């Protein structure tokens, strides 16, 4: 890993989150050049990063975790943000199960079936994320399990584009997680169904 490569990957992640560019599809390559890198005043930062995180997946994780915390400028990025993010994945099964329990609790007054959670116009899970009740990783894991993006609102239902922006962010984050080899296990899926099973019968309450 060189400083230029670290810079190129950073640029790919930046475009991935902020534009229609798909960093995974294009193998984290953009049209930046070594000469443009030499002009960057932050080049020493990228050279240091290349030494600290010589593994591609670690560097992608470092950038991704900081972008999720809105630390998008190179000098704003912090090692502890990446370490906290990485630590969450060591407890992902537990955290996902806890989020499923929270979803069940928050949906107790809803007359829904299980599949209603994932209908195209149901913002419930996204609202829970906005309220800091569940994590964005849980939204990504549900997308992986269902193999689809479910939120699809008309502009009149989302005039400020808040849900559209979040839905795009979840999708883009999911692509990076999948590239890093992070997938819901069969046990996680089974536990989610087990925890959320009461919702299946709530129409009969």
| Alpha helices, H only, the chain | 3-18, 34-38, 43-52, 56-68, 79-90, 92-106, 124-130, 136-146, 162-179, 186-200
Q: Determine which of 86-90, 108-112, 154-158 has the lowest per-residue pLDDT on average.
A: 108-112
Same domain, 85 and 95: no
Same domain, 168 and 154: yes
Tokens coding 27: 């193998």
Q: Are 177 and 68 in contact (CB under 8 A)?
A: no
Same domain, 147 and 200: yes
Structural domain span for residue 35: 3-89
- Reported pTM: 0.89
Helix, strand or coil for residue 41? coil
Q: Are 60 and 9 in contact (CB under 8 A)?
A: yes
Last residue of a domain, one of 89, 123, 140: 89
Same domain, 200 and 99: yes
Percent of the chain at pLDDT exceeding 90: 63
Same domain, 200 and 105: yes
pLDDT in tens, 43-99: 899 999 999 999 999 999 999 999 999 999 888 999 999 999 999 888 988 999 999
Tokens coding 41: 């005043």
Determine if residue 181 is left, alpha or beta; phi over 0 gives left, psi from -120 to 50 gives alpha, anything else beta: left
Domain count, the chain: 2
CATH of the domain at 66: 1.10.8.60
Same domain, 48 and 119: no
pLDDT of 203 reads 44
Determine if residue 27 is left, alpha or beta; phi over 0 gives left, psi from -120 to 50 gives alpha, anything else beta: left
Same domain, 103 and 188: yes
Q: What is the mean pLDDT of residues 167-189?
A: 92
Same domain, 95 and 195: yes
């Amino acid at each position: 890993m060189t400083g230029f490569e670290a810079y190129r990957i950073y640029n790919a992640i930046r475009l991935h989150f902020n534009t229609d560019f798909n960093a995974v599809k294009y193998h984290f390559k953009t049209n930046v050049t070594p000469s443009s890198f030499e002009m960057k005043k932050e080049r020493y930062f990228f050279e240091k990063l290349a030494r600290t995180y010589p593994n591609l997946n670690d560097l992608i994780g470092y950038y991704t975790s900081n972008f999720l915390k809105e630390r998008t400028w190179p000098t704003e990025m912090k090692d502890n943000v990446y370490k906290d993010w990485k630590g969450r994945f060591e407890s992902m099964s537990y955290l996902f199960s806890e989020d499923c329990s929270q979803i069940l609790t928050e949906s107790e007054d809803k007359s829904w079936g299980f599949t209603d959670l994932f209908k195209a116009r149901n913002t419930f899970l996204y609202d829970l994320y906005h309220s800091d009740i569940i994590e964005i990783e849980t939204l990504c894991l549900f997308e992986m399990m269902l193999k689809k993006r479910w939120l699809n609102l008309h502009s009149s239902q989302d005039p400020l584009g808040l849900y559209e922006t979040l839905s795009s962010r979840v999708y883009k984050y999911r692509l990076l997680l999948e590239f890093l080899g992070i997938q819901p296990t069969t046990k996680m899926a089974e536990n989610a169904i087990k925890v959320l099973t009461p919702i299946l019968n709530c129409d009969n309450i």
